[in-house]
Amino acid sequence: MVLLAQSIGALYGLLAIIFGAFGAHMLKKSFTPEQLASFETGVKYQMYHSLVLLMLSFNLNLDTDLEKYMIYCFVIGTFLFSFSIYGLCLSASKGRKLKFLGPITPIGGLFLVMGWSMLLYSIIRNLL
């Protein structure tokens, strides 16, 4: 589980850099300011959560169910949240917005909230 979290964290970080550069240089010409801002939000959240995955995987054993579910929530949530934003922005810029992706973004956000909630619970539990 540790190696999986580290690998996905590193992959998400790598892709966030690539997508961020792609958005800043290539998409600037074809995106509206709102689409560019949304795309940047996806990149930021992807980078934030790649760092969270790396920090957790280097500091926890990830052997309890709570820790495993936390990692799954961050991995799935980041994928659903950020990649649905990318799909929405890219498809809208081509005039064919993939509307089915719209509801996926908040589902990804919910997974991220659950991951952060589990992390907070874990911290509080260890304090008491």
Calpha distance 82→88 (Å, rounded): 10
68 or 24, higher pLDDT? 68
- pTM equals 0.94
Question: Which segment of 8-12, 16-20, 98-102 scores lowest on mean pLDDT?
Answer: 98-102
Joined tokens for residue 30: 């074809």
Provide the residue ranges of all domains of the chain, joining segments of one domain with +.
2-127
* The predicted structure's pLDDT at residue 119: 97
Residue 49 φ/ψ, nearest 5 degrees: -80, -20
Mind listing the pLDDT tens digit for each residue in 14-60?
999 999 998 888 888 889 999 999 999 999 999 999 999 999 999 99
How would you label 58-94 residue by residue, b for 16+ Cβ within 10 Å and e otherwise? eebebeeeebbebbbbbbbbbbbbbbbbbbbbbebbe
